[in-house]
Amino acid sequence: MRKILTLVVCSLLAIWTVNAKDIDSGTFKNGGSWKITDQGELYVDAVTVPDYPDYGPWEAYSRYVKTLHFSSKITTIGKNAFRNMYQYWRDAETQLHIDGLKYVEFDKKSSGNVIIKDGAFDNCRCLAFFDFSYITEIGKTAFKNCYSLNNITLPAVTKIDDNAFDLCHRLFGNVPGMYITAPSKPVISNVMDHTYIDLNTNTGDAGKFIIIVVPTSTINQYPSQIWDSRDNVHPKGRIYPGYLERTYNADKSNNGYGSETGTATLVWWYVDGRHLYVNYEYGIPDFASPADAPWYSYRDQITDVTLAGGTPIIGKNAFANFTKLTTIYNSNKIKEVHEGAFKGCTVLG
């Protein structure tokens, strides 16, 4: 039976391969080649995609190319190379549609060594998935106007230049939209230059771009089933120790969204001198011991805490032994305080 299934799969792959025909192709002046198939796929086999003054030679296919696939050779994606890979069009009933590049993939590489230069994917408005696994540097306006990008992860990046993700509206909001894993803190410039726009209400608010940086040396600091230990990059660009918290509880009584939605609670925080800011949706979870709270190492430093979010629940041992804590902002909104939440806070007013 296994042999029969294997033969069937191989036959289907063979049929697909035969049916996928090249409709255009070319070579780069500095070596390498590209081709477009009638399946809407653009293949690039080169070390370097050169710079272009406006856009690459495939711009005429901007409506039809849905997937861009790089070979493992690639190390540099040039300026404006895949800019404007989208197009609006109307059907027979004059309904307006938008089509274009949606997916960018890479052959498996041994390390992260790909540089994306200025404007490389600027205005790719349909781009929803980009494999950032091997990207080390991102140039100015590289993904500007990529409206469909949402909750991206950059595990190898060392530098993000000015306005690299400007006007990527789905990356902005009250919860983190970008996650970075790095052995050291990357150089992050002003990644956006415009007000955040809520696509549901069409209203705006500045400074709501939240990046979470995950130092590889601290990923396992907390139990993996509960915590992702992280360094938080504040919207103003300052970097502080932080984490993103996820819970999958059966109901909301213990700060989780619950299995009925399958969505995780989000909690993020940062330390600014003597101030601790904690943002949550369904409150701060319970901790088995005071030392399990991710901000515990700051217990002799913090004098005031700001709580912000939806339902204010202060979990067990959340701020125990904060001996210099004097003020809790928004404390009048707290609905639940669990056992030992403020135990040992000797000067708290």
**pLDDT of res. 66:** 95
For residues 286-292, give the mean pLDDT.
Answer: 87
| 295, 316 contact by CB (below 8 A) | no
**pLDDT of res. 154:** 79
110 band by pLDDT with thresholds 50, 70 and 90: confident
pLDDT, tens digit, 9 for 90 and up, residues 75-92 = 999 999 999 999 998 888
**pLDDT of res. 90:** 87
**pLDDT of res. 93:** 84
CATH of 22-235, one of 3.80.10.10, 2.30.29.30, 2.60.40.3080, 3.30.1330.10: 3.80.10.10
Which residue, 113, 115, 131, 107, is CA-closest to 81?
115
What CA–CA distance (Å, rounded) separates 88 from 73? Answer: 33
**pLDDT of res. 281:** 65
| 247, 256 contact by CB (below 8 A) | yes
Average pLDDT over the chain reads: 75
For residues 189-216, give the mean pLDDT.
Answer: 52
What CA–CA distance (Å, rounded) separates 170 from 147? Answer: 6
| Residue ranges of the chain assigned to CATH 3.80.10.10 | 22-235
